[in-house]
Amino acid sequence: SELIRGFLLSGMPCPSSCPPGLLALMAPGLALMATFSLPSQAGDRRALPVEKPPGVKGRTLILLDVNTKSPVRIISENFLSLQLDPSIIHDGWLDFLSLSLCGKSVQGAQLAKNLMVETRLLFSLFSRLKGLMVRDQGGVEDSAGKGKPAEKDIVRSDIALDKQKGCKIAQHPDIMLELQREKAAQMHLVLLKEQFSNTYSNLTLTARSLDKLYNFADCSGLHLIFALNALRRNPNNSWNSSNALSLLKYSASKKYNISWELGNEPNNYRTLIGRSVNGSQLGKDYIQLRSLLQLIRTYSRANLYGPNIGRPRKNVIALLEGFMKVAGSTVDAVTWQHYYIDGRVAKVTDFLKTRLLDTLSDQIRKIQKVLNTYTPGKKIWLEGVGATSAGGMNNLSDSYAAGFLWLNTLGLLASQGIDVVVRHSFLDHGHNHLVDQNFKPLPDYWLSLLYKRLIGPKVLAIHVAGLQRKPRPGRVIRDKLRIYAHCTSYHNHNYVRGSITLYIINLHRSRKKIKLAGTLRDKIVHQYLLQPYGKDGLHSKSVQLNGQPLAM
C-alpha cells in the first residue's frame, strides 16, 4: 500500500480537508500533503466523505505524478540540522539551554525537552565559535593570550552527565530567567553594534562552558560539530594550533564525541584580523588539523568538515578551488553558508520573490562545479542558512512569511543532493532563530518539526503537466509553483512503508488546482495545513495546524 502526505503552508484560509486526488492551493500558499494509503492496508485510516470545497475552481489544472520506482537522491538522516550561535556563551543563554533541557523547575524546561528529545527535531547540532581559548574551569584566557578572572554567571549550574542516572542539574527559581533576559537584551545591543560597525570583540570559551555545551548536546541525543578558531596565525600566516591542541586534549580526556571544523567564512578574515588567508594556505591548515586529530586516539577517526566559505562569489570560488587542490581529500564534507536577504533592508514581499528563491540554486551549481573538478562525489553541506543576514529583522525573518524561503530551501537542497543543511540557528540574538527567548517556538520551528516528522531521506522525481508558459524574448521564466516529493519518514509509525510525502509552494497570484494522477490516483490524502494564527497574517509569530493553534 502507499500513502501520500502533504503539507500546506498558506497565507489565506483554505479547506482543512480535500477529496482524494484533488488539492486546492491558495495564493500564495505552501503545501505539505499527506500520505495516501489503501484503506485495506492502513487500518482505520479511511477517506472521509467531504463535499467539494467552495471556491476550488481555478484557471489552471495541474496534473501531478511521482516516479516511485527509485529515488533520484538519498540524503542524510540528519539532513535538517541545527546551529548554535556562539553568542549563547557570550550572553549567558548556554546555562539556560542546559537547564531547560534537563530541568523541572525552570520555566521552559519541558519545552526544551520536547524540542530535543521527544520530537527528535534536531538530529545534529552544530556550534561555530569565532574565538576559542581553553584554560581551566576557574579562569579564562582571551585571544590575545592574557588571563583574566572568570566572569560570574547569573546561573551557576554544575551540570554533570551521569551515564547511569541521566542528566543532573541544580534547582533554580524562575526569577533567574528574567534576569537572564535582561542580560541578553543588553548583550544584544552590543552584538548589533559590532555587526554594523564590522568590529568584533574576542569571545573566550572556558572548560566549564565546553562541558555545558557538550552535555547539552549529549543529553539531547545530538552530535556536536565544533568549529575551532582559525584566526590565531603565526608570523608566516600559518595556523597557530597550540590552543586547539589544548582543547583537543581536554575534550579527549573527557571522552567527548565531537566532530571538528576550522574557522568560519575564511573569505572575511581580512576584515576581522587585517590579514587574508588564501585557499592553499587554508588547505595546509586543515591538513595540520587532521594531523593533530590523528595524534589523539579519541579523535584519530573523527570527522572533519570545511572550509565553511561564504556566498560563492568569484573571489570565494577561487579560495574554494585553492582549498580543494590541497585538502579536498582531507575533509569528510565541503561546507558553505547562504543568507538570502540583508536583514537591514528586508521587506515581507521579499520572501515571496522567485528571483530570490533561485539565488540558492545558482550557488549550488557553482559549488558542485568546483567539487566535480577536484573531488567528484564529495558530500556537500550547507552549514549555515537563514532568511536574512545581519541578525535578521523583527517580525520578518522570525515570522510566518519566512517559511516560504525555508521550505523551498529544504526542498531545493534535497533535490540537488545536498547531504545536510544546518539551520542558523536554534536560539541566539537577532531574529533568525527557531525559538525565542521565552522558549516559545516560532513558525519555522513548527515547519521544521513537520518536515522532520514527515520527510524521509529518499527524494523522488515528480512529473507535472498543465503548466505551459511561452517564453518571452529577454525574460527568464521562473517557476512559481514548486513541488517536491519524498518517501515518508520510516520513523513515523502513523504511515506504512511505501508512503509518499509531497510539499508544494504556490507563489502565483491565483489559486491552483492540483490533480493527483498516475501512481497517485485514488489514494487517500492527509493534508497538513499550516497557517498564520491571529490578525498579523504573514507577520504572525504563531501558527495553526489544520485550524488548531500550535503551542507548547
Residue 52 lies inside a defined structural domain of this protein: no
- Interval 141-146 mean pLDDT: 32
Q: What is the pLDDT of residue 307?
A: 96
% of residues, the chain, pLDDT over 90: 36
Regarding predicted confidence, which is higher, 218 or 28? 218
Cα–Cα distance, 134 to 101 (Å, whole number): 24
Domain count, the chain: 1
Among 13-17, 89-93, 99-103, 464-468, which stretch is predicted with the lowest mean pLDDT? 13-17
Q: What pLDDT band is residue 116 in, cutting at 50, 70 and 90?
A: very low
Q: What is the pLDDT of residue 390?
A: 55
Tens-digit pLDDT profile for residues 2-12: 345 555 554 43
- Interval 19-32 mean pLDDT: 53
CB-CB contact of 457 with 126 (8 Å) = no
Residue 53 lies inside a defined structural domain of this protein: no
Q: What pLDDT band is residue 190 in, cutting at 50, 70 and 90?
A: confident
State the pairing for strand pair 258-262/304-309: parallel
CB-CB contact of 142 with 231 (8 Å) = no
Residue 493 lies inside a defined structural domain of this protein: no
- The burial class, CB within 10 Å (0-12 / 13-18 / 19+), for 464 is middle
Does 276 have pLDDT greater than 70?
Answer: yes
Cα–Cα distance, 101 to 103 (Å, whole number): 6
Gap between the terminal Cα atoms of the chain: 34
Cα–Cα distance, 316 to 155 (Å, whole number): 42
Cα–Cα distance, 191 to 173 (Å, whole number): 28
Q: What is the pLDDT of residue 345?
A: 55
Q: What is the pLDDT of residue 91?
A: 75
Angle, alpha carbons 203-204-210 (nearest 5°): 120
Q: What is the pLDDT of residue 367?
A: 96
Residue 530 lies inside a defined structural domain of this protein: no
The dihedral of CA 102, 104, 106, 109: what is its sign? Answer: positive
- Interval 267-281 mean pLDDT: 89
Q: What is the pLDDT of residue 467?
A: 62
Does 127 have pLDDT greater than 70?
Answer: no
Does 461 have pLDDT greater than 60?
Answer: yes
For cell 467539494, what's the residue?
Answer: 52
Q: What is the pLDDT of residue 38?
A: 33
Instruction: Give φ, ψ of 56 to 5 degrees.
Output: -75, -20
Among 144-158, 319-333, 436-450, 491-505, which stretch is predicted with the lowest mean pLDDT? 144-158
Residue 171 lies inside a defined structural domain of this protein: yes
**328 three-state secondary structure:** coil
- Interval 476-501 mean pLDDT: 85
String of DSSP letters for 266-286: GGGHHHHHS----HHHHHHHH
Does 30 have pLDDT greater than 80?
Answer: no
Which domain CATH number covers 200? Answer: 3.20.20.80
Q: What is the pLDDT of residue 112?
A: 43
State the pairing for strand pair 124-128/80-84: parallel
What is the grid cell recorded at 318? 577561487
Instruction: Give φ, ψ of 443 to 5 degrees.
Output: -55, -40
Regarding predicted confidence, which is higher, 429 or 63? 63
Cα–Cα distance, 47 to 91 (Å, whole number): 51
Cα–Cα distance, 552 to 368 (Å, whole number): 40
Q: What pLDDT band is residue 375 in, cutting at 50, 70 and 90?
A: very high
Q: What pLDDT band is residue 95 in, cutting at 50, 70 and 90?
A: confident
Tens-digit pLDDT profile for residues 517-527: 988 888 888 88
Residue 241 lies inside a defined structural domain of this protein: yes
Regarding predicted confidence, which is higher, 139 or 306? 306
- Interval 417-445 mean pLDDT: 83
Residue 337 lies in domain: 73-129+151-473
Angle, alpha carbons 239-242-248 (nearest 5°): 110
Residue 158 lies inside a defined structural domain of this protein: yes
Residue 534 lies inside a defined structural domain of this protein: no
